[in-house]
Structure 1
Amino acid sequence: MVQFLSSRLNVSFAALSDATRRGVLEQLGRGDASITELAGKFDMTLTGMKKHVRVLEQAGLVTTQKVGRVRTCTLGISRLAEETAWIEEYRRLWASRFDVLDQIVEELKQRETFDERRETE
Structure 2
Amino acid sequence: MIWHLIVPLFLPIINSIPTSTLHTIIGNMLGAGSISLSKINKGEGKYSMTMDIYSLNYIHHLIENIYSQFTKTKIYAYPNILLPQHKGKEITQYHFRTKVHPLFTVLHGLWYKWDN
Normalising by structure 1, we get a TM-score of: 0.34
User: Structure 1 or 2: larger strand share?
Assistant: 2
Higher relative contact order (CA closer than 8 Å, sequence separation 6+): 2
User: Structure 1 or 2: larger helix share?
Assistant: 1
Normalising by structure 2, we get a TM-score of: 0.35
Give the structure with higher Rg (CA). Answer: 1
